[in-house]
Amino acid sequence: MIKMLTAYTEEVDEVEDGIAEILGQIDLGSLRKHNIGLVTCHSDFITTGFVSTLCGKLPFDIIGVTTMASANQHGHSMYALSLTVLTSDDVSIETAITEPLSAADYREKLESAYTDAAKKLPVRPSLIITFSPYLETLTGAFIHRAFDDICSGVPIWGSIATDSNISPEHCFVFRNGNVSKESQVMALFSGPIDPEFVVISIPPQNIQRNKGRITGSDGCRLKEINGVPALKYLANIGITIMKDASVITPLMVYYEGSSEPVALAIYSVNDDESLLCGGEMTEGASVAVAEITNEGIMATAAESMTRLLKSGRRDGVLLLPCVTRYVMLAPNRNSEMEFISNRLENGKIMPYMIGYAGGEFCPVRDEDGILRNRFHNFTFSACAF
């Protein structure tokens, strides 16, 4: 069994005052045998030394990531730090941080960190929570695919680092006092842990009914749909994608055997009319165009809360919605966080954590009910205990 504790502060400049606020909200005397701290925070908490100081004050490992906004039952803000403590008597936990990743060696470094942590556990991991760097030369989808292969399909849940400007310059991950822009951090759980995953992206009414089939691809590069160059195919169905403009048009990918589609972003347009996308564009999969709207964001948040509450899980829930959701809700950007707080009765139903993600890792069930690790964009992602 996992017990979840939370703490929160917006005090980034007066470090000792902020640390005192955090420690005042966590009952260290209630900790069990095995413990892990999860932190989401604004990047200023890194640069002021707050995170390093906090890690030195707590008697357990911490892994964390910068986000655009953070929340729990103590508060919500863009300029905040949220600490979640997971504590258990019977679930063992080990953490690790990789060496800086690059396109040439990321698999080897992921495997080394994972193997070193996994061999310290009494049995094979049953859950991985991980935070990935925001690297312009290496997509989260590639990291996720390699990690899924390395761990042989152990459920992976987590996110890619982001910040208030969605700029790699201020996107960090960290393990204890070790802060990095290029490394990956992970927490491995083994023992009787059986989390419930909820992942919803776009409501059905916002997805076009006509689907095409991917007939040409190379990893995350979508080359052809129905035998037509991807950019031209989209133009033929009335979707104009500009090469030099920010793209917020979700593509819903229906992988073979999956019970629900995965939402992926279009990152850029290539000269050959192919598209670089947020995740793998597998040949043979079906694809449909969707639209992200304020109403759709709130509708999927509502559906996610309904599914979560019906699951019966009450020990705590970790929530990593896509940062695009927060941006698109302007000028009322906090409305999703406020809605979640209200549905969970400000933590009375269960403790919760929210951090906005630059890409989401969350398993989904296939048609046989087996969990398959997937990488997502635009998604509301939850891991409940």
Q: What is the pLDDT of residues 42-86, one digit of tens each?
A: 999 999 999 999 999 999 999 999 999 999 999 999 999 999 999
Q: Which carries the bigger pLDDT value, residue 258 or residue 225?
A: 225
Q: Widest CA span of the chain, in angstroms? A: 63
Torsion on CA atoms 86, 91, 92, 94, rounded to nearest 10: -40
Task: Report percent pLDDT > 70 for the chain.
Answer: 99
Helix (H, G, I), strand (E, B) or coil at 302: helix
The domain limits of the chain are: 3-199+297-384, 208-289
Helix (H, G, I), strand (E, B) or coil at 62: strand
Cβ-based neighbours of 204, under 8 Å, separated by 6 or more: none
- What value does the mean pLDDT of the chain take? 95
Which parts of 228-373 fold into alpha helices (H)? 230-236, 294-311, 323-328, 335-343
pLDDT digits (tens, 9 = 90+) for 118-134: 999 999 999 999 999 99
Residue type at position 124: R
Q: Which carries the bigger pLDDT value, residue 241 or residue 105?
A: 105
Segment 159-168 shows an average pLDDT of 89
- The candidate with the shortest Cα–Cα distance to 187, out of 51, 195, 171, is 195
pLDDT digits (tens, 9 = 90+) for 228-278: 999 999 999 999 887 665 568 899 999 988 878 999 999 889 989 999 998
Whether domain 208-289 has CATH 1.10.3470: no
User: What per-residue string of b and e applies to 47-69 under the rule 16 or more CB within 10 Å gives b?
Assistant: eeebbbebbeebebbbbbbbbbb
Segment 318-325 shows an average pLDDT of 96
